[in-house]
Structure 1
Amino acid sequence: MKSILDFARAKREERPVVILTAYDALMARLLAASEVDAILVGDSAAMVVHGFPSTIHATVEMMAVHTAAVRRGAPAAVVIADMPFLSVRRGREEAVRSAGTLMQAGATAVKIEGVAGHEDIISHLVESGIPVMGHLGLTPQSVHQLGGFRLQGRTTEAASRLMAEARSLEKLGAFALVLECVPAALAADVTRALAISTIGIGAGGDTDGQVLVSADLLGFDAEFRPRFVRRYQDGHAAALAAVNAFVRDVRAARFPAPEEVLA
């Protein structure tokens, strides 16, 4: 994938879009060498990298640092950066400034959670030349209002509201939409109703693509096991084994070996 225009092309060709997260240059280089279509610099960095309990602790400055690192690691990739908590709720001028900061840091596009109350911001950003990806369903920045990390859109009323919001995002000019933790049937209905791409996470297999946090599919956190994540390796166990092997080699005077000593 070379640009956001490829999202529409992928939908027309019924080719699933695959997105993974990165927060640093090292992971970005790995993903750039892979077959993934785009990289998301998620505000999940606040949790995965900085150890906060939720994404609301992410700031524009934090996101800009991570976005710049990812861009340096993946110079040619499509890089989507999350607009952090409240960055689109402080008025148009502040939203443009925040989005501009992320774009100048290296983002190809920004992702915005929700739509109600900031429709004008989304349309203004699009009109200003800043590509916008939407995000509906479980919107982690609203976790306290939602009562925790739980499935959204389960009632008829909630499903209708989500569908209306999805149509609104499309009309406002969003090029794609993340659907997080919604019933698979609802995600399928939204996908069929929209001309723009839907990217699912915990939303079943009938969306136009999937996104996951890289650390989750690599199994780096031994305690975090959401149902919608498939672990493709036990990264925690592998890394822990390597660290302990190094410790044992040092303590047994097996490291460094003669060939590893600089003369």
Structure 2
Amino acid sequence: MAPELSATDARISVDAIRDRKGGVPIVCLTAYTYPIARLLDEHVDLLLVGDSVAMVLHGYKTTLGASLEMMIAHGQAVMRGSARACVVIDMPAGTYEDSATQAVASARRIVDETGCQAVKLEGGVDVAAQIAAIVAAGIPVMGHIGLQPQSVESEGGYKIKGRTEENVAALFRDATAVEQAGAFSVVIEGTVENVAADITRHISIPTVGIGASGDCDGQVLVTDDMIGLTVDRVPKFVKQYADLRSVISGAAKDYAAEVRDRTFPGPGHVFTATSGKDKA
């Protein structure tokens, strides 16, 4: 059963996101936890529970480490921590590719167990039937074309898309297929800027760029990249708006020093027999 939610009627709907085509840019960030969802909720239009959680929080080398159970658990936490943003949850690799039946069953489980507004899956022409089936089952879908992290192993790395005429034509076919299958929006990742801009003008549903174009209808970043928590290499397309790695490391260093020289805990952090009814 989905967790009890608050203010669900105030959430930004997928229809509202779809209606932003060509309008005020859609603001999207990833969220995987309750506290981060609470902090981001008032500032964004869409919270994406990305399968990047496998890398960011669980230490996997690729997003292929994400499971359906992992996505549902983090999706539940984000739903508990948010009341306003439209919440979209990634369908992890291996949960939708085999058939439309598999895709619908996986999407239904995600929505039923989290209460999220939509699911996201990677691919274009190759998953159009799955998108159409999920939409027909009453579950909104966000597409994802261009660089597809779930295919990074089969493609031999993270390769920017749109650098050849053949690839550009394939990207347009994928975008059109996602649109015609009924998706309400589509992420364009790791794609040459002018190609992503042309796709945005070509299709009628909003595009959300990540390493794509400022002309997309919205933008998404991995929050941990954006706030400077990423341990490994930060992608070129990321702008860091804070340096929380230094803040956290500095706080841990100061704490360790105070513990070792016995200045923490101090008088204000312990209880005495005369503390009365002071709470912990």
Secondary structure at 1:118 match in 2:
helix
Shift, 1:7, TM fit: 1.5
1:117 to partner: Cα distance: 2.8
Q: Shift of the alpha carbon at 1:221?
A: 2.0
1:252-263 equivalences in 2 (<5 Å): 252-262=261-271, 263=275
Matched, 1:70 2:59: no
CA-CA distance at 1:75 after TM superposition: 3.4
Q: TM-score, normalised to structure 1's length?
A: 0.95
Q: What 5-or-longer segments of structure 2 have no aligned partner?
A: 1-10, 276-280
Question: Which of 10, 13, 20 is 1:3 aligned to?
Answer: 13
Question: Counterpart of 1:239 in 2: which secondary structure?
Answer: helix
C-alpha distance after superposition, 1:194-253 (max 9, x if no partner): 111000000021111100000000011243221100011111111100111111111222
| Alignment partner, residue 102 of structure 1 | 110
Distance across 1 between alignment mates of 2:254 and 2:133: 55
Moved over 3 A (4+): none
Following TM superposition, by how much is the alpha carbon of 1:128 offset from its aligned partner in structure 2, in angstroms? 0.9
Q: Which residue of 1 aligns with 2:44?
A: 36
Amino acid at match of 1:74: S
- 1:90-169 equivalence runs, <5 A: 90-104=98-112, 105-169=114-178
* Alpha-carbon distance, 1:132 to partner: 0.3
Superposed CA offset, 1:110-132 (max 9, x none) = 00100233322110110111000
Per the alignment, residue 5 of structure 2 pairs with: none
What are the Cα deviations for residues 80-130 of structure 1, in whole angstroms up to 9, with x where unaligned? 000100211132222112111111223210001002333221101101110
Separation (CA, whole Å) in 2 of partners of 1:95 and 1:87 = 6
State which drifts further: 218-227 or 17-26.
218-227
Distance 1:214 1:48 in 2: 10
Shift of 1:255: 1.4
Asked if the contact 1:87–1:94 (Cα under 8 Å) also holds between the matched residues in 2, the reply is yes
- Give, in whole Å, the separation in 2 of the partners of 1:61 and 1:255: 40
C-alpha distance in structure 1 between counterparts of 2:170 and 2:255, whole Å: 54
8 Å contact from structure 1 (residues 216, 224) kept in 2:
no
Distance 1:139 1:68 in 2: 25
Q: How does 1:210-225 map to 2 (within 5 A)?
A: 210-225=219-234
* CA distance in 1: counterparts of 2:104 and 2:83, whole angstroms: 24
Equivalences for residues 221-260 of structure 1 within 5 A: 221-260=230-269
**SS class of match (2:116):** coil
Q: 8 Å contact 1:4–1:78 — kept in the other structure?
A: yes
Q: TM-score, normalised by structure 2?
A: 0.90
Distance in 2, Cα, partners of 1:189 & 1:147 = 27
Q: Following the alignment from structure 1 to structure 2, what is the Cα–Cα distance between the partners of residues 251 and 210?
A: 45
Percentage of matched positions with identical amino acids: 43
Written as runs of structure 1 = structure 2, the 5 A alignment for 1:182-193 is: 182-193=191-202
The SS at the match of 2:21 is helix
> Is 1:16 paired with 2:25?
yes
Larger Rg: 2
- The one-letter amino acid paired with 1:111 is K
Letter of the aligned partner of 1:145 in structure 2?
Answer: S
Distance in 1, Cα, partners of 2:65 & 2:267: 47
SS of 1:160's equivalent in the other structure is helix
Unaligned runs of 5+ in 1: none
Q: Secondary structure at the match of 1:11?
A: coil
One-letter amino acid of the counterpart of residue 34, structure 2: A
